[in-house]
């Protein structure tokens, strides 16, 4: 019997395909954002608001990850956005092969900014690279200000945190200062955007940030 | 849920290395898993028992070495283990820190014959 040193990162297969996806996206000049959040935090709403805010400036495409339905893809398609729905069949995250499948079905020549709605879940999506350039987590005010304590794996890897549903702040005891302090301590490079997809407040700054990356 | 995909990858890595070494059989797979990587040992074991029969790793023991989360304070450099709801540096009270351990997730070694 012998022990053999291996030291190989698990999920290397996914990472390889993610790298191919990224190369394809780079060739086409498409900036790609992986949007992650709990169920109902406002991923689809944010995509719709972003499309409106960037209309005439950037052409947005979308990939909608969902465990079962087509509801979100239909909402986005109605806004005139080229979209591919991926049903994970109960799976808790998108992976790189699923995104490759979607990229093969999108009109890449007509897209400047690709928004990927990951499956509603704050755990698994953080571990699976898709080929994206930017990782974003949406935390909504009703979920409470302690989310980073529970999901440090997610909050420590993202490039931006969007705090959605700020219109509800007056009704809830969400401590914005404490929340921002947690993010800053864990991940000081992360940009923080406070938005309301309902009133539109804060959407412009978020959309401008995305547009800045596309130029 | 995603332990299925992960276990497939663990199996692939172990079998590839064993084949390259010309081994007959894998008797153990030693994994290093950080507490922040949100992998459930039992679930990996479950899928492993399901996936491994018929491969070189059939009957292999899975060993899980767990690595606790560690932060390095961004203010004073102190290293500490964050508690559930208390991420304050024990030295200077700053909240949070750079994650220096806890995200590990790899096959460290395999035992073969
Ligand atoms: N008050 C308020 N409600 C919002 C806001 N943004 C989204 N919502 C509501 O929150 C609910 C969920 O929004 P979605 O955009 O569908 O959330 P999602 O994250 O895509 O949800 P899943 O795809 O089901 O995980 C809907 O009823 C939205 O109308 C907001 O800024 N304020
Ligand atoms: Mg949605
Ligand atoms: Zn300190």
Residue A169 has pLDDT above 90, yes or no: yes
Residue A13 — pLDDT band, cuts 50, 70, 90? confident
Q: Which two tokens stand for residue B9?
A: 């990858």
- A135 Rama class: left (phi>0) / alpha (psi -120 to 50) / beta: beta
Percentage with pLDDT > 90 across chain A: 83
What residues does ligand 1 touch, defined as CB less than 6 Å away?
Answer: A 37, 39-45, 72, 120, 164-165, 167-168, 196-198
Task: Give residue A80's pLDDT.
Answer: 95
CB contact under 8 A, A8 and B112: no
Task: Give residue B1's pLDDT.
Answer: 54
- Taking the C-alpha atoms of residue A168 and residue A141, their distance in angstroms, rounded to an integer, is 7
- Taking the C-alpha atoms of residue A16 and residue A62, their distance in angstroms, rounded to an integer, is 22
Tokens 């009133």 belong to which residue? Answer: A199
Contacts of A188 in chain B (CB under 8 A): 74
Q: What is the mean pLDDT of chain A?
A: 94
H/E element holding B3? helix B3-20
In chain A, which ranges are E strands?
2-9, 31-37, 60-66, 83-87, 113-117, 134-140, 160-164, 191-194
Task: Give residue A44's pLDDT.
Answer: 97
Task: Give residue A2's pLDDT.
Answer: 84
Q: What is the pTM of this model?
A: 0.90
Measured by CA distance, the residue closest to atom 1 of ligand 1 is A165
Q: Of B52 and A91, which is predicted with more confidence?
A: B52
- Taking the C-alpha atoms of residue B5 and residue B47, their distance in angstroms, rounded to an integer, is 9
Q: Of A43 and A6, which is predicted with more confidence?
A: A43
H/E element holding B27? strand B26-34
Q: Report how far ligand 3's centroid is from the alpha carbon of B95 (Å).
A: 8
Average pLDDT over residues A34-60: 97
Task: Give residue A124's pLDDT.
Answer: 83
Query: Please, what are the domains in chain A?
Result: 2-214 (3.40.50.300)
Task: Give residue A70's pLDDT.
Answer: 87
CB-based burial, A168-206: b 16+ in 10 Å, e otherwise: eeeeeebeeeebebbbbbbbeebeebbbbbeeeebbeeb
Q: Report how far ligand 1's centroid is from the alpha carbon of A43 (Å).
A: 7
pLDDT tens digits for range A101-125: 999 999 999 999 999 999 999 988 8
Task: Give residue A43's pLDDT.
Answer: 97
Neighbours of B32 (CB within 10 A): 18
Residue A127 has pLDDT above 70, yes or no: yes
Contact call for residues A67 and A119 (beta carbons, < 8 A): yes
CB contact under 8 A, B110 and A6: yes
pLDDT tens digits for range A43-54: 999 999 999 999
> Could you say which residues from 43 to 102 on chain B have a Cβ atom under 8 Å away from some Cβ of chain A?
69, 74, 82, 84-85, 87, 94-97, 99, 102
CB contact under 8 A, B87 and A13: no
Query: Please, what are the domains in chain B?
Result: 3-69+101-112 (3.30.2320.50)
Walking along chain B (113 residues) 10 residues at a time, the average pLDDT comes out as 83 95 95 88 92 96 95 96 92 94 93 94
Q: At what angle do helices A43-54 and A203-214 cross, to 10 degrees?
A: 70
């Amino acid at each position: 019997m012998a022990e053999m040193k291996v030291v190989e990162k698990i999920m290397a297969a996914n990472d390889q395909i993610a790298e191919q996806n990224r190369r394809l996206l780079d060739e086409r000049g498409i900036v790609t954002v992986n949007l992650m959040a709990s169920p109902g935090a406002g991923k689809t709403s944010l995509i719709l608001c972003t499309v409106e805010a960037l209309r005439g400036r950037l052409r947005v495409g979308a990939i909608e990850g969902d465990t079962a339905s087509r509801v979100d893809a239909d909402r986005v398609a109605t806004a005139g956005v080229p979209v591919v729905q991926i049903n994970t069949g109960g799976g808790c995250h998108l992976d790189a092969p699923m995104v490759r499948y979607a990229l093969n079905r999108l009109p890449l020549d007509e897209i400047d900014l690709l928004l990927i709605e990951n499956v509603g879940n704050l755990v698994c999506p953080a571990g699976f690279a898709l080929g994206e350039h930017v990782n974003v987590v949406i935390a909504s005010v009703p979920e409470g200000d302690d989310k980073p304590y529970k999901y440090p794996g997610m909050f420590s890897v993202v490039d931006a945190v969007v705090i959605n549903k700020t219109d509800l702040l007056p009704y809830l005891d969400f401590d914005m200062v404490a929340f921002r302090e947690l993010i800053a301590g864990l991940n000081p490079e992360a940009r923080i955007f406070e938005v309301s997809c309902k009133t539109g407040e804060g959407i412009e700054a978020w959309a401008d940030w995305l547009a800045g990356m596309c130029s | 849920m995603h332990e299925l995909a992960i276990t497939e990858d663990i199996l692939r890595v172990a079998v590839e290395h064993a084949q390259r070494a010309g081994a007959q059989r894998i008797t153990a797979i030693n994994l290093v898993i950080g507490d922040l990587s949100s992998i459930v040992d039992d679930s990996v074991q479950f899928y492993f028992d399901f996936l491994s029969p018929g491969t070189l790793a059939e009957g292999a023991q899975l060993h899980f070495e767990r690595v606790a989360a560690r932060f390095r304070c961004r203010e004073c450099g102190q290293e500490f283990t964050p508690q559930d709801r208390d991420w304050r540096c024990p030295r200077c009270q700053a909240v949070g820190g750079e994650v220096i351990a806890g995200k590990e997730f790899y096959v460290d070694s395999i035992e073969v014959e």
